Structure 1
């Protein structure tokens, strides 16, 4: 399927789990025909059990429910959790339960998308997983993140994409009872004034589509660029685009992690600070709690929300999905939110805050230059397995708990 701009859409910004979860659960509870969900992480906590309940209720009243999870991101679901879903008629798919010999390699290519479509009429897209750490009452480690609710013709594009992902990834054998295919959803009528395009990254024909859309927006920027991204370590060309924009007078601001969920995230991003600051790029570290967002605004019209970080995993390996939005009102709302973060919850990084020796910095800059400009092509040399979904039988645990991985999932 193609990626094209569509007119007549409406987007509502949802910040953190407090806004996202109630709205998603409300829409699923009202579903009449179909619920499609893709998520990297589904935990069996208070959020996961609530999702479990609304999906069970939907399936029991005859709604066709398909949920796709990632075996690495969601390794610890119990047999009871899974079997109750499948017995109710939920079709549960697990992304890429690879053979043991290749499992470690395939960890580098994960299904990282977070998508929902209900009745072909409403869609949700963003960076929020189904886990309690997206709620403020989780404590200091609660994540700061975003999603959008979409109405209008763009929903048909996301709906078609999700069905295609199931068709492309599923093996011939199914353990669940197959239902008759639903009739093609009627393309939703115009719902607002936003232009939008649904963009995904895969390991086939769309390897760099999300990055190219980011870079195009940055190259066309005239007034401002604000990027809030949890895991920031993009390629050299992306960094050069940021510096070039700043040097022609665009106010370029990056909101990165200052209270990271993993220390290496902040360390990696900090390796780029000298290069960016010398190019007049403004850097802010968000310090209230871990930043998990993947959003940006450019000038007064363009914005993006989605699952893609700006790091090697998202840009060169994982399966990702973002929506690009051209709408002054949505841009204003997201821009004001990010401005508030910078004003009230961030520390601005200045050159004087960086204390590394000049010799080490020069050596590292030389190394980074050569690594960053080449890593997408190097990553492409890794095995690029075709996406494959396993459809679970009633009593089968998620990939046997993905062998009860000793490592924690990295969101």
Structure 2
């Protein structure tokens, strides 16, 4: 019986694009058979062009190279950029490609938000980092703070099978539910969210880990507006004596995200949850540590888009070394660049925020259901076909 758990893996934490991009590119350089890549955003910028060069070289060495990009997130990507990939044999798939309406992207909902890379079924990368230069620290004040994990071992083979099934339109080889939890380090599994049989898997994973927490929970998440059940588990964990800390956005790239999150602050703080806002740069992280052994890293925010609409992928891992590494990095953020949110002092302020919070909460939590009930097309996957030889020759001559 496939429980979804794979043992015998090793994990390395990668912080920001500064660590992530060189690791991915080095892995592509060393690939022998196959490169699989999924990303929400791929831009024609220095980061995207560097990745393109590596993928082209891999295809020219005779490797099978398959990439999946999102039609909304990667909409600015030029035809010339894609043609350079397709022209050497890279199989480029676009999730839900749609034309702009009066210059605007209109297909906002049900995005392919995953960030996955697998090399030769042996090495994989999972996290929240896109392929764009705003994930590099040197980008400046708007550089995103984020994490990914590099995985060596059997779990990579399962992630690769999942990615192949996606582009082939086949049933996804992912078990539902966490099942019996492993007791040894090096165990991990892929947890996904889709709009079919895995609609609640990532949210259930968080609730299961919260219920099992004994002493400490540390969550860093960019867009925080979870449903009532997850909020209740956070509060219950704090009330039974677990130290629960949330690291959220203080300098958001989307101000509505911070406004929505603050509607929940009083309820959580009154329950004993500690809330910190990261104020140095936009926070883009989607990670958590539970006690000293469990970790999750991935693409899923804790908001209505990620928990109810988007296609997401996280790994949940039992590994003390990875837990320690991630905890140290997030602890450093809290100490150096975060502000602890105090309990609201004025009763009138708390009452006013409570009533506004109730309205905003119900609107945002019901919004995905409203969107889902509207007549809508079924998102499709489209493979970009190579240009005819004649067209290529004409382009060269011009």
Structure 1 residue 336: Cα displacement: 1.3
Query: Is the Cα–Cα contact under 8 Å of residues 66 and 91 in structure 1 kept in the other structure?
Result: yes
- CA 372–238 in structure 1, closer or farther in 2 if over 3 Å, else same: farther
Unaligned runs of 5+ in 2: 171-183, 389-398
2:306, 2:274 → 1: CA distance?
Answer: 23
CA distance in 1, matches of 2:5, 2:366: 30
Question: Tell me, what secondary structure is at the counterpart of 2:314?
Answer: strand
Contact 1:317 1:379 in 2 (8 A): no
Structure 2 vs 1, CA of residues 45 and 265 (structure 1 numbering), >3 Å: closer, same or farther? same
Does residue 206 (structure 1) correspond to residue 198 (structure 2)? The answer is: yes
Pair 362,124 (structure 1): closer, same or farther in 2 beyond 3 Å:
closer
Question: Which residue of structure 1 aligns with residue 180 of structure 2?
Answer: none
Q: CA deviation at 1:361?
A: 2.5
Question: What is aligned with 2:46?
Answer: 46
Match of 2:20 in 1: 20
Root-mean-square deviation (Å): 2.4
Q: In the alignment, which of 270, 290, 297 is matched to residue 278 of structure 1?
A: 270
1:126 aligns to 2:127 (yes or no)? yes
Instruction: Say whether 1:256 aligns with 2:256.
Output: no
Alignment of 1:99-248 (within 5 A): 106-168=107-169, 193-248=185-240
Per the alignment, residue 75 of structure 1 pairs with: 75
Tell me the secondary structure at the aligned position of residue 313 of structure 2.
strand
Q: Is the 8 A contact 1:246 1:252 kept in 2?
A: yes
Aligned equivalents of 1:147 and 1:51: distance in 2?
A: 17
Q: Secondary structure at the match of 1:6?
A: coil
Counterpart Cα distance in 2 of 1:99 and 1:56:
27
**Superposed displacement of residue 143, structure 1:** 0.5
Asked whether the equivalents of residues 41 and 131 of structure 1 are also in contact (C-alpha less than 8 Å), the reply is: yes
Determine the C-alpha separation between the residues in 2 that align with 1:18 and 1:145. 10
* Count of residue correspondences: 374
Tell me by how many angstroms 1:99 deviates: 7.9
The unaligned stretches of length 5 or more in structure 1 are 170-191, 397-411
Kindly indicate whether the alpha-carbon contact (under 8 Å) linking 2:10 and 2:152 is maintained by their aligned counterparts in 1: yes
Distance in 2 (CA, whole Å) between partners of 1:21 and 1:44 is 15
CA distance in 2, matches of 1:22, 1:296: 24
Deviations 1:192-250 (A, max 9, x none): 94111101000000001001000100011110111000000000111111011000000
Contact in 1 for aligned 2:14/2:149 (Cα 8 Å):
yes
Shift of 1:44: 0.5
CA pair 347-383 structure 1, distance change in 2 beyond 3 A: farther
* Residue 56 (structure 2) aligns with: 56
Q: Work out the CA distance in 1 between the residues paired with 2:375 and 2:27.
A: 39
By how many angstroms is 1:367 displaced? 3.0
Q: Is the Cα–Cα contact under 8 Å of residues 344 and 350 in structure 2 kept in the other structure?
A: no
Q: Give the 3 Å change call, closer, same or farther, for CA 100–332 of structure 1 in structure 2.
A: closer
Q: Give the direction of change, closer, same or farther, for the CA distance of 1:220–1:80 in structure 2 (3 Å limit).
A: same
Q: TM-score, structure 1 length as denominator?
A: 0.85
Length-normalised TM-score, structure 2: 0.88
Cα separation, 1, equivalents of 2:348 and 2:111: 35
